[in-house]
Amino acid sequence: MAEEQRRAPLFEALQAYARKVRAPLHVPGHKMGRAAPPEWRAFLGESGLAIDQTEAPGLDDLHAPEGVIAEAQELAAAAFGAWRSYFLVGGTTAGLHALILAACEPGTAIAVPRHAHRSVLGALILAGLRPHWVRVAFDPELGLATGADRGSLQEALQGAAAAVLVHPTYYGIAAALEAEIGLVHGAGLPVLVDEAHGTHFAFHPDLPPSALSLGADGVVQSVHKTGGSLTQSSLCHLGRGSRLTPARVAEMLRLVQTTSPSYLLMASLDVARRALALEGRAAWERALVLAEEARRRVEAIPGLRVRPTDDPTKLLIDVRRRSISGFRAAEWLWDEAGVAVEAAGLTYLLAVLTPGDTMETVDTLAAALSRLPSDEGVPALPPEPPWPEVVMTPRAAYLGPKRAVPLEEAVGRIAAELVAPYPPGIPVVAPGERLTRDVVDYLGHAARSGWHLQGPADPRLRSIQVVEE
C-alpha cells in the first residue's frame, strides 16, 4: 500500500486546530465541550468533543472541498479502487439518493430489485421515478431473498435509465454481480450498487469481489457496518470509467446532505480508511479465522446449523431443528445471556463478526446457543409475496392527498405507503401499487401473526394509508 495511505489529513487537521485555537467564536455552541453537560463530557471525554467542529480555519468544507477533506477523499478513492470517493454523513441512504438523482431524470424509469433497501424507494419518491421492479429468488428453507432474477432484470432494463443492484444481501449473499453488471452495461445503462454490507470486500482475497472491482458505475458503502467508522458515516464511490459525472454526483450530494456535516463522522471515515488500507488484510484474516471457529462451534450444537453464505463473517444460524423461532431465540439470548444478534427471522439468527471481535465473543455466543431452549416449534414460512400492480408513481402516491382506511376496506385502493413484513423483508406493497385481494389477505396474515412491519404509519396495520380518490 502506498506510503501516502499512512496519512489521515482531516483527523490530523482537527487535532492541530484543537491545539492551536484559543477563542473558538463560532458554533457548535458547546465550545469544544466546555458548555456540554458534565456527564456527557465525562463520558465522551474532552478530546472527542474538542474535534466536534464546523468549517473552521484549516478544516475545509465538505460541499466545496479543496483542502484536507478533498485530500482525505482522494486517499479513500485510492484505497478502495475508485475514480472518485465522497464522504457521507447521512449514511448510505444519502449516497443512494444522490446516485439515483444523478443517473435519472424526473419521470424516467429505473430497474430496482424487490429486495432493495427501503431508502431506494425514498429516492424514487424524491426523483419522481417509475420503478421497474425486478423479481428476486428465495431460499426455500429460510425464506430469505438471495438475489435478483436474471430474466426479470433483463426485462426491467427495457426503457429504464439505470439499474440498482444489491451486493451483498443483508445476509451476506453476493450472487452473480459480475454477470448482472454485464447485463446492465450491455443495455448501455449505469449500474448503481448498494454495497452497504460489503465495505470490507476490497481488503481480503477470501471475501467476495468488491462492486468497484467488477465495474460498477456508482457504489455506496456503509463503512460504519464493517469498516470501523462511526455509525451514520458512509462512502459513495464512482468507478473508473463511470457513466456518471463527478460534477453531477457532487451536485446531488449537496442537495441531499446536511449543510452542517459532522466532523466527527468525517474524521472517523478518514481514520477507518487508513486502518483498512494499512492493516485491513491482517484484520480481516483474524475475523475470518474467528468466523470459521464460530461456525465449527455452532455446528457442533445439537439442533443448530450454520448456512453457507458468500461472506463467511455473516453467521446465518438455522434454528428450526431446535423447535424455536429465530425471534424467540433472539429474545432468549438477550434476556438470559446478554448476547445481541444482528437480526432474527422465523427460522434463523444472524450474527456478524468483524475484527472487533475476539475468541471471547465466540465463546460467549457458543455457550449461550448451547443452552438455547426448545419452544413451541417454528411457524410455517410465509408464501412468496404477491407481485405488485403498479398504478402510479411512488412520488404521486406518497406526496399526494391520502387517508387511512381499515385494512379490510382497502381492497382495490392504491397504497400511499410502504409495507414490508419481516419475514421475508420484501415490500408487499409500495406507494402507487394496487391493494388487490391477495395483497390485503397477505398483509392481514402478517399483522395477525405478529411479524415486524416496516413502513406503515400504523405498525399494527389495523389501517393503511391509501390515495385519496
142 and 286 in a common domain: no
Contacts of 300 (CB under 8 A, 6+ apart): none
Question: Could you give the CA distance from residue 42 to residue 140 in angstroms, rounded to a whole number?
Answer: 51
Question: Could you give the CA distance from residue 288 to residue 314 in angstroms, rounded to a whole number?
Answer: 10
End-to-end CA distance of the chain: 61
109, pLDDT greater than 90: yes
Give the CATH number of the domain where residue 329 resides. Answer: 3.90.1150.150
CA atoms within a 13 Å half-sphere pointing along the CA-CB vector of 218:
28
Question: Could you give the CA distance from residue 321 to residue 311 in angstroms, rounded to a whole number?
Answer: 24
Give the domain extent around 270: 3-277
Please check whether residue 9 lies inside any domain of the structure: yes
351 and 317 in a common domain: yes
Contacts of 203 (CB under 8 A, 6+ apart): 276, 280, 281, 283, 284
pLDDT at 452: 85
Q: Are 345 and 142 in contact (CB under 8 A)?
A: yes
440 and 307 in a common domain: no
Across 406-417, average pLDDT: 97
pLDDT at 398: 97
Categorize the per-residue pLDDT at 425 as very low, low, confident or very high, splitting at 50, 70 and 90: confident
Q: Edge to edge, what strands does the sheet with 314-318 contain?
A: 305-307, 314-318, 348-352, 343-344
Least confident of 339-348, 380-389, 391-400: 380-389
**Three-state SS at 163:** strand
The H or E element spanning position 383 is: none
Q: Are 132 and 110 in contact (CB under 8 A)?
A: yes
Q: Are 118 and 454 in contact (CB under 8 A)?
A: yes
The H or E element spanning position 291 is: helix 263-299
80 and 94 in a common domain: yes
pTM across the whole model:
0.96
Q: Are 418 and 455 in contact (CB under 8 A)?
A: yes
The residue among 277, 300, 323 that closes a domain is 277
Give the CATH number of the domain where residue 403 resides. Answer: 3.90.100.10
pLDDT at 11: 98
Q: Are 351 and 317 in contact (CB under 8 A)?
A: yes
291 and 255 in a common domain: no
302 and 271 in a common domain: no
In eight-state DSSP terms, residue 3 is: G
For 270, the grid coordinates are 478518514
pLDDT at 27: 96
**Three-state SS at 82:** coil
Which residues partner with 160 through β-bridges?
A: 109
Q: What percent of the chain has pLDDT over 90?
A: 90
pLDDT at 143: 85
1, pLDDT greater than 60: no
251 and 128 in a common domain: yes
Please check whether residue 378 lies inside any domain of the structure: no
Please check whether residue 376 lies inside any domain of the structure: no
In this predicted model, what pLDDT tens digit does every residue of 13-31 receive, in sequence order? Answer: 999 999 999 999 999 999 9
Least confident of 122-131, 300-309, 420-429: 420-429
Across 426-440, average pLDDT: 95
**Three-state SS at 155:** helix
- Cα-Cα-Cα-Cα torsion 289, 295, 296, 298, nearest 10 degrees, comes to 140
218, pLDDT greater than 90: yes
Number of domains in the chain: 3
The residue among 305, 336, 370 that closes a domain is 370
What's the farthest any 2 CA atoms get from each other in the chain? 68
The residue among 252, 277, 302 that closes a domain is 277
Q: Which segments of 239-337 are extended strands (E)?
A: 305-307, 314-318
Mean pLDDT of the chain: 96
Please check whether residue 189 lies inside any domain of the structure: yes
pLDDT at 378: 83
Please check whether residue 375 lies inside any domain of the structure: no
Please check whether residue 385 lies inside any domain of the structure: no
Least confident of 243-247, 374-378, 429-433, 454-458: 374-378
Q: Are 88 and 79 in contact (CB under 8 A)?
A: no
Question: Could you give the CA distance from residue 114 to residue 111 in angstroms, rounded to a whole number?
Answer: 10
The dihedral of CA 309, 313, 314, 320: what is its sign?
A: positive
Higher pLDDT, 144 or 71: 71
182 and 215 in a common domain: yes
Q: What percent of the chain has pLDDT over 70?
A: 99
Question: Could you give the CA distance from residue 209 to residue 213 in angstroms, rounded to a whole number?
Answer: 7
Helix axis angle, 359-370 to 326-337, nearest 10°? 110
Higher pLDDT, 46 or 286: 286
Please check whether residue 388 lies inside any domain of the structure: no
402 and 349 in a common domain: no
pLDDT at 423: 65
Across 242-253, average pLDDT: 98
172 and 36 in a common domain: yes
Give the CATH number of the domain where residue 177 resides. Answer: 3.40.640.10
pLDDT at 298: 98
306 and 229 in a common domain: no
In this predicted model, what pLDDT tens digit does every residue of 333-362 receive, in sequence order? Answer: 999 999 999 999 889 999 999 999 999 999
Please check whether residue 201 lies inside any domain of the structure: yes
For 104, the grid coordinates are 435519472
In this predicted model, what pLDDT tens digit does every residue of 44-72 receive, in sequence order? Answer: 999 999 999 999 999 999 999 999 999 99
166 and 187 in a common domain: yes
Question: Could you give the CA distance from residue 395 to residue 466 in angstroms, rounded to a whole number?
Answer: 13
User: What CA–CA distances, in Å, run from 246 to 84, 85, 216, 243?
Assistant: 7, 9, 15, 10
